[in-house]
């Protein structure tokens, strides 16, 4: 936890620094008052100061829980798997269309997470892809992507 905090603080500092520099490109003050760069500039400065304070406090303290925040190898695979599946689904949504993408997504993820009944998996996948599409597109008139294959 302590190490995690330290890493987070460093990341935050990086972000604040980047924001600070970028906001200098926008004018800080203009004829009427604060310009576009005004708030981001001062906020970044404030944020960086606060982060340094947290950094110092974390580095000096010894009583924050020492349990590792990093997941075990197997858990990491699970988390990573979900993220990869999500990313894949997002990028395939428009090319492949909602129905096909979600069918694969649901079935694949259910299986990867440990669901074992093929019938339940298939049913859920179909309901979640084709069924949901029908409800949203035809009944509610909410557009969902239709891909190259017409799905």
Partner 1 sequence: MDTFQHLLAGLTAATSLQNLGFALIGCFLGTLIGVLPGLGPAAGTAILIPLTFTLDPIGALIMLSAIYYGAMYGGTITSVLINVPGEAASVVTCFDGYQMAKQGRGGTALGIAAIGSFVGGIAATVALIVVAPPLARIALSFGPPEFFALMVVGLCLITGLGGQSLLTGLVMAVVGLLIAMVGIDPVRGAPRFTFGIPSLYDGVGFIPVVMGLFGIAEILLTVEAPYREVIKTKLTSLLPSREEWRRSFGAIARGTGIGFFLGLIPGVGAIIPTFVAYVFEKRLSKTPEQFGRGAIEGVAAPETANNAYANAAMIPLLTLGIPSSPTIAVLMGAFIINGLTPGPFLFKERPDLVWAVIASFMVGNVILLILNLPFVGLWARLLRLPYQYVCVGTLLFCVIGAYSLQQSVFDVGVMIVCGVIGYGLRKIDLPLAPLVLGLILGPFIEKSLRTSLEMSGGDFSIFYTRPICLGLLLAAVVVLLGSLLRPPPKVRESNA
Partner 2 sequence: MISHIVTATIGAALALAATIGSAGAQQNFPTKPVQLMVAYPAGGSTDIGARIVAAIAEKSLGQPIVVVNKGGAGGQVGWTEFVRQRPDGYYIGFINLPATNTVILDPDRKAIFTEKDFTPIINQVLDPGVIWVRADSPYKTVHDLIDAAKKSPNTIRAATTGILSDDHLAILMTEEAAPGAVFRLVHLEGGAAQFKEIMAGNIDVAFDNVGSIMTRVKSGELRALAVMDDVRSKFLPDVATMKELGYPTVMSNSTRGIAGPKGMPEPIVSKLRDVLKKAMEDPEHVSKLENQGLAIKIMVGEEYARYFADTHAKAKKYTEWAKSRPQR
Separation of CA 74 from chain center: 21
Residue 146 site contact among partner 1, partner 2, none (CB < 5 to 8 Å, cut-off depends on kind): partner 2
Query: Is residue 146 within the footprint of partner 2 (CB under 8 A)?
Result: yes
Query: Is residue 31 within the footprint of partner 2 (CB under 8 A)?
Result: yes
Smallest gap from residue 138 Cβ to partner 2 (A): 8
With respect to partner 2, which residue has the nearer C-beta, 42 or 137? 137
Binding-site member from 10, 75, 148, 149 for partner 1 (CB under 8 A) = 75
List interacting residues with partner 2 (CB under 8 A).
31-32, 137, 141, 143, 146, 150
């Amino acid at each position: 936890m302590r190490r995690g905090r330290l890493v987070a603080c460093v990341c935050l500092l990086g972000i604040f620094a980047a924001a600070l520099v970028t906001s200098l490109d926008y004018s800080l003050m203009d004829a009427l008052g604060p310009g576009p760069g005004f708030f981001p500039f001062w906020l970044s400065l404030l944020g960086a100061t606060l982060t340094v304070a947290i950094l110092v406090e974390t580095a000096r303290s010894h009583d924050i829980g020492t349990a590792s925040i990093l997941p075990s190898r197997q858990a990491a695979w699970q988390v990573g798997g979900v993220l990869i599946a999500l990313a894949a689904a997002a990028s395939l949504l428009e090319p492949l269309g909602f129905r096909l993408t979600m069918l694969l997504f649901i079935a694949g993820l259910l299986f990867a997470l440990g669901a074992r009944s093929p019938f339940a998996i298939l049913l859920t996948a179909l309901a979640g892809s084709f069924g949901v599409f029908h409800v949203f597109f035809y009944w509610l008139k909410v557009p969902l992507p239709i891909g190259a294959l017409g799905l």
